[in-house]
Amino acid sequence: MHIGDHTFDEWVQQYQRLLFGIAYWWTGSRTDAEELTQEAFFQAYRSRSSLREIEAVKGWLVGILRHCHSQMYRKGRSRAEIPLEEVIEGSSGATEFRSSGVDRDDSLALHQALKRLDERHRLPLVLFYFQDLSYREIAEALELPLGTVMSRLSRARQMLHASLAGPVAPAVAKKIGGVSAL
Amino acid sequence: MNCDLYRSEMYAWRPGSDEKSFQPLFDHLGSCAECARLFEQLTSSDQQIRRTFQSYPESPSLESRILSGLAHQRAQAATGRSSWRLWMLAPVMASLLVVLFVGVTPQLQRAKLNREIAALLSKPPTLQINTTDRKQLLEWSAKQLEGPPALPADLDKVEFRGAAIVSVETHKAVLLKMKNEQRASLVIVDARLTQDNRFHSMQEGSGSASLWSDGGRSYVLLFNGSEQELHAYMTRMGITA
């Protein structure tokens, strides 16, 4: 499929914010998120002929972002290495912030909860909540079977709610063994 | 199914899910107040989490940085394509140079030959040997050149009255003046100036000339007259190489 430069630039304008947001919650770092988003668009541009349908561009871009994320963390960077100050700074008024009346503590708590999750659960969870992608779209972006995505998401949501002291029942908490033990 | 299992199933549900798959859950929620309360809390908490996810920093310069990076990639790709094209053109350019060399060099050589012939026609050299003895003249000529003191058979009728050493295209040559035709002379060149044995006529400022080769030597018949007069002379003398 031929994709012209003008079309691709329009995609950058349309989806850079989305990719940055996903990368931000995946990494917990604004700097890493910017780096990942840029790299994802650069890789996407180089491999734009691999896109099969224009309608699937969003999932395709998210898939490339996920690939870049794996590359970044294979190179030795991990979420655990990101200083908490950066996460707090990213959630504070120190930078221009896209907020919808969300409590700063909620934001920080979410960061910390995500930090406790392993990548297998964090990646689909962010896609689930952040963009509200369907299970199928998440499965395609992560290149996972639909059943695997559903089971991982179910478990990830339990862990997240438990971590955020949500409505998880003691029995469920006991069943999953507590987030910190995962 | 007990409450624990239904509560696990709550996490698989999301708004818009296939209601039929979750019908047993909803049936249970209708009959279990505690699970219904937890489900309501879960739904409410999910909404709060979604709102929190929408709260993240702005990155005002990101778009321009990506677009500028893409522009750089495109520029590099264009440069790469140009280099590739240049490499692809290299054989074509080389071929053109060869063609030009092969095509132009003979033209330049011919132009130089024409100038030298024109000079011989306008300013004939002073004869260094004056004799009508054909044998003596040919032996003298053979000493100046390399090869036997003989001429091609089609020059058998021609008689000479003297000779002089000249140089044509840096090759050794001898000019023989004809006895019975003052306007004509023959230049024998110790080199092959034409690739075939045909006559190559030339019209120069002060006369005409005809060039041919017998394979080893070249002969230039100079004539202080028109091309027609030259051909008439050649026919008369039986020069039909």
A109-141 pLDDT tens trace: 888 899 889 989 999 999 998 876 788 888 988
Q: Which amino acid is at A109?
A: A
- Residue A95: its pLDDT value, please? 45
Under an 8 Å CB criterion, which residues of B touch A? Answer: 3-4, 7-8, 11-12, 14, 38, 41-42, 45-46, 48-60, 62-63, 65-67, 69-70, 73-74
Mean of pLDDT values over B161-190: 90
Query: Which one-letter DSSP state was computed for residue A130?
Result: I
- Residue A62: its pLDDT value, please? 92
Kindly determine whether residue A161 and residue B70, on different chains, have CB atoms separated by under 8 Å. Answer: no
Nearest of B177, B154, B168 to residue B218 by alpha carbon: B168
User: What is the Cα B88 distance to its own chain's centre?
Assistant: 11
Kindly determine whether residue A107 and residue B55, on different chains, have CB atoms separated by under 8 Å. Answer: yes
Q: How far B83 CA sits from the closest chain A CA (Å)?
A: 19
**Which residues make beta-bridge pairs with B167?**
B172
**SS3 category, A123:** helix
**Which regions of chain A does DSSP assign to beta strands (E)?**
97-98
**Which regions of B34-158 does DSSP assign to beta strands (E)?**
56-57, 129-130
Report residue A13 as tokens: 């304008």
**Which residues make beta-bridge pairs with B174?**
B165, B188
Report residue B84 as tokens: 């590739």
Look at chain B and count its residues: 241
Kindly determine whether residue A169 and residue B3, on different chains, have CB atoms separated by under 8 Å. Answer: yes
B85-108 pLDDT tens trace: 777 778 888 888 887 777 777 777
What is the spatial distance between Cα A34 and Cα A75, in angstroms, rounded to a whole number? 17
For chain A, give the percent of residues with pLDDT over 90: 34
Nearest of B99, B52, B213 to residue A114 by alpha carbon: B52
B108-144 pLDDT tens trace: 777 788 888 888 888 888 889 999 998 898 889 888 8
ipTM of model: 0.78
For residue A91, pLDDT beyond 50: no
**Which residues make beta-bridge pairs with B213?**
B218
- Residue A34: its pLDDT value, please? 93
Mean of pLDDT values over A82-91: 50
pTM above 0.95, yes or no: no
User: Pairing state of beta strands B184-189 and B218-223?
Assistant: antiparallel
